[in-house]
Structure 1
């Protein structure tokens, strides 16, 4: 049984479903001993749980997932053991949200005009989180609209389709992630700067789900490692068995920590559950020792 999940999202992520306290209860029920709420560009979920939790098991690792760039490529950087009360995180979140509110309008237009899906504006308004309409929420609205059921582009996301395991987040990856036609450019901080910030607070900087962003590009991975990261999320719900072995080897060659995270969100990734990703006993022991140093 896996006892570590260092990558979960709460309602304070623009695409999360559950309150921090609900995530804590789920982890406790699962027998998880170390957990982290790593919301997108926000420490509010992590901070709230740290403020209200009254038990020591599971241990809560202060965390965040930061959007940042390296070599012109967008990455997600996990920060562990950070100071969640540092005002720098409020600025990071506000900068991110102000851009995402504008980006949402562009994505709505693309979905209607280029993809050809239909949706009700009133439904879109109900699905907004923190004023943001995410690609996942757009897809949720489109899947609720019967007019789209026979649309050719909707078929992969419906039951039995090739993208039906996590249709909402898959819609994001297929149409709005970097390199896709519907991608909306966003100004993110430099990865190296975010690594330095995390280190200045005594924390650990870990590259999230590298298989999704690095895609086994050796030169790109080398550039990311050169920014001073402490670890890679080797054990991720996104990774195939082959990718796990690839990033395990690369992490060990670079002397990096191998971390474990489900990237649980809730309804936007229905096939993912807390504690879903396991890691071998040896790596778990090393990871637990590293976590104890930052708690």
Structure 2
């Protein structure tokens, strides 16, 4: 049996779609037998200090991390940064810039959602948001728990037995608020090149997150990204089938990239995703050894 003890893509409540505190996540990892972990919040390093202190208590190897939203050829992507010097002001500046834009877009999202025939009040959203940011997942949580919309046709796929009911909140986000969808509101993210440079210049290793999810039908763009300085690929992800895993694993080995595995655990917004479930199909000792070789643990 292949040992499973690594999860390098976890979100705390410092991500606007996360649920648990950093300390809670460390304890949860301990309970699941995870001994090497990273909390990679969206554009935020706020979890690191708390998580590192808790990980020390449980003898868990903790890797500083962030997940940077960025763009390449008009495609929104996520790049994971591992081993970063997280105390640099540049990471706080990144977070504040994106938070400012997201708060502005939240009002527009509320308007667009209510234009679909709903009546959500700002106060309902404020009851779910820690930061004044309203996510597609929050809209879904409110709507799916509002008795007025129990039989609403638009919500049917997200209810029990529906074809989008496995992760109803995030699926609602992907269907209505993601890039190219009717309620999408644009945030100006850094380019892939800038994201990679930000990570590299601050001591980290840049890894493309769940590429099968973001590069659908455009896997060949990975070669260009490698030329731009990308250093790793999250080949093992809950969003990848076996063929996708094999493609990115092979590409990584051909180009001497760091191969990582991550669940993308969030909690209630993605209930079908469990900590430590990463679709990893190789011995995780191989990943561990590469992390050591690259100075990440």
Return the alpha-carbon distance in structure 2 between the equivalents of residues 280 and 92 of structure 1.
34
- SS class of match (2:98): helix
Q: Is the contact between residue 238 and residue 279 of structure 2 (CA under 8 Å) also seen in structure 1?
A: no
How big is the alpha-carbon RMSD for the aligned residues of Structure 1 and Structure 2?
A: 1.6
> Partner residue of 1:197?
198
Give the deviation of 1:167 after TM superposition: 0.6
Give the deviation of 1:217 after TM superposition: 0.9
Q: Is the contact between residue 118 and residue 142 of structure 1 (CA under 8 Å) also seen in structure 2?
A: no
Give the deviation of 1:152 after TM superposition: 1.1
Return the alpha-carbon distance in structure 2 between the equivalents of residues 169 and 82 of structure 1.
28
Task: Go from structure 1 to structure 2 and tell me whether the alpha carbon gap of 1:66 and 1:84 turns closer, same or farther (over 3 Å shift).
Answer: same
> Partner residue of 2:130?
129
Return the alpha-carbon distance in structure 2 between the equivalents of residues 2 and 274 of structure 1.
11
Return the alpha-carbon distance in structure 1 between the equivalents of residues 202 and 286 of structure 2.
21
> Partner residue of 2:27?
25
What is the aligned residue count?
293
Return the alpha-carbon distance in structure 2 between the equivalents of residues 195 and 280 of structure 1.
27
TM-score relative to the length of structure 2: 0.94
Cα distance per residue 1:177-233 (max 9 Å; x no partner): 112222111111111122122112221100000011111414422222222111111
Matches within 5 A, 1:219-238: 219-238=220-239
Return the alpha-carbon distance in structure 1 between the equivalents of residues 39 and 224 of structure 2.
27
Give the deviation of 1:16 after TM superposition: 0.6
- SS class of match (2:127): helix
Q: Are residue 82 (structure 1) and residue 80 (structure 2) matched? A: no
Give the deviation of 1:45 after TM superposition: 0.8
Give the deviation of 1:27 after TM superposition: 0.6
Cα distance per residue 1:229-253 (max 9 Å; x no partner): 1111111111122221222222223
Q: Which runs of 5+ in 1 are unaligned?
A: none
Q: Is the contact between residue 80 and residue 208 of structure 2 (CA under 8 Å) also seen in structure 1?
A: yes
Return the alpha-carbon distance in structure 2 between the equivalents of residues 218 and 261 of structure 1.
19
Give the deviation of 1:43 after TM superposition: 0.3
> Which deviates more from structure 2 when the two are superposed, residues 233-242 or residues 77-86?
233-242
> Partner residue of 1:62?
64
> Partner residue of 2:271?
270
> Partner residue of 1:286?
286
Give the deviation of 1:48 after TM superposition: 2.2
Cα distance per residue 1:119-138 (max 9 Å; x no partner): 34332120112111111011
Q: Is the contact between residue 71 and residue 223 of structure 1 (CA under 8 Å) also seen in structure 2?
A: no
Q: Is the contact between residue 15 and residue 134 of structure 1 (CA under 8 Å) also seen in structure 2?
A: yes
Return the alpha-carbon distance in structure 2 between the equivalents of residues 55 and 230 of structure 1.
31
> Partner residue of 1:211?
212
Q: Is the contact between residue 237 and residue 263 of structure 1 (CA under 8 Å) also seen in structure 2?
A: yes
- SS class of match (1:189): coil
TM-score relative to the length of structure 1: 0.94
Return the alpha-carbon distance in structure 2 between the equivalents of residues 173 and 166 of structure 1.
10
> Which deviates more from structure 2 when the two are superposed, residues 60-69 or residues 145-154?
145-154
Structure with the higher helix share, 1 or 2 = 1
